[in-house]
Structure 1
Amino acid sequence: MATITLKGNTIQTSGELPEIGSKAPDFKLTNAALETKSLSDFSGSKLILNIFPSIDTGTCEASVRTFNREASELENTKVLCISRDLPFAQARFCGAEGIDNVITLSDYKNGNFGENYGLDITTGPLETLLSRCIVVLDEDGVVKYTEQVPEIVDEPNYKAALEALL
């Protein structure tokens, strides 16, 4: 389990992020069209998994905006923005913001993504939501970079995530 903070208050996650060099765990997440997507649906592309608690918070919004802007410059790379928000909320935000370079996916159905990636928040006011993390995968689904953001209200290290794609 990882120890992180929410505005300085200690909270826990369910485990640790996948190890660098390991094969990423598969997942089943729901897209805006309510279709189930798995890791194999993105095979052959580099992936940035931008994981966060809720699209309805300023820091989460900022990460989606930043990766949307950066994604337009990335070759053979997809940015998956993952939360437990309903797909409708994710689509509403992206539509209102004109965001179209990222793919939103929801872990609302069964929570297996958060469980398998070790990033469910298990204590505190955000319990059951996903912690703020970045996981970068190569074209074969091998983990190249991870970041468990230590203070959940802080933004991730965008530069390090993008450099891991090189």
Structure 2
Amino acid sequence: MKIKFQGNEVNLLGTQVKVGEKIKDFKVVNNDLSELTLKDTKGVRIFLAVPSVDTPVCDLEVVTFNNKIKELQDVNCYTVSMDLPFAQARWCQAKSISNVKVVSDYKDRSFSEATGTYIKELGLLTRAAFVVNSENKLVYVEYLDEITNQPKFDEILEAAKMAK
């Protein structure tokens, strides 16, 4: 799949997922270097793929979800990037992120493989959003055509509400 980064075409590796499919299992790294897999998550989940939490567009996205996810009881939100866990931990502390779990795909790239979000030319994840119900079925999928754009916040949150 081809998308754009600052107007320039780049390629996503892997197969992009679609609504109705089951999300494949993956393994990412928590800020304390422990592993987190899909099996470790439960209920309705929002997974946000971002290039780097320490950039203005990603910062705004994660901070926005950190504030809005409080309105949805029993919905967990995860942000996945290639940032090192230490950098993610510092950023989360500086931004007081407590409602979104920020995890890294740097080690195994298995989240990007499971979702088709790895940008070949940049070695980063693209901006994408996935809502998964309690049966691990994808009920919302958004791959942004331009990585520097924001996702559809309201649509993502509405999909999470409806997935309950």
Q: TM-score, normalised by structure 1?
A: 0.93
Confirm or deny that 1:149 pairs with 2:139. no
The answer on whether the counterparts of 1:144 and 1:164 sit within 8 Å (CA) in structure 2 is yes
2: distance between equivalents of 1:32 and 1:99?
13
How far has the Cα of 1:110 moved from its partner?
A: 1.5
Deviations 1:121-160 (A, max 9, x none): 013xxx2211000011011111000100111111111111
* Residue of structure 1 equivalent to 2:117: 119
The answer on whether the counterparts of 1:17 and 1:146 sit within 8 Å (CA) in structure 2 is no
Query: What amino acid does structure 1 have at the position aligned with 2:74?
Result: N
* Residue of structure 2 equivalent to 1:74: 72
Equivalent position SS for 1:115 = helix
How far has the Cα of 1:40 moved from its partner?
A: 0.9
Gaps of at least 5 residues in structure 1 are none
* Residue of structure 1 equivalent to 2:11: 12
The answer on whether the counterparts of 2:49 and 2:117 sit within 8 Å (CA) in structure 1 is no
Write out the 4+ residue segments of structure 1 that deviate beyond 6 Å after TM superposition.
none
2: distance between equivalents of 1:79 and 1:96?
19
Report the number of matched residues: 161
How far has the Cα of 1:16 moved from its partner?
A: 3.8
Gaps of at least 5 residues in structure 2 are none
Query: What amino acid does structure 1 have at the position aligned with 2:156?
Result: A
2: distance between equivalents of 1:151 and 1:16?
18
Residue identity over aligned pairs, in percent, reads 37
How far has the Cα of 1:91 moved from its partner?
A: 1.0
The answer on whether the counterparts of 2:53 and 2:83 sit within 8 Å (CA) in structure 1 is yes
Q: TM-score, normalised by structure 2?
A: 0.94
The answer on whether the counterparts of 2:50 and 2:125 sit within 8 Å (CA) in structure 1 is yes
How far has the Cα of 1:50 moved from its partner?
A: 0.9
* Residue of structure 2 equivalent to 1:163: 158
* Residue of structure 1 equivalent to 2:127: 132
How far has the Cα of 1:56 moved from its partner?
A: 1.5
Greater Cα shift, 7-16 or 19-28 = 7-16
The answer on whether the counterparts of 2:31 and 2:88 sit within 8 Å (CA) in structure 1 is yes
Query: What amino acid does structure 2 have at the position aligned with 1:55?
Result: V
1: distance between equivalents of 2:15 and 2:131?
15
Query: What amino acid does structure 1 have at the position aligned with 2:30?
Result: N
Equivalent position SS for 1:163 = helix
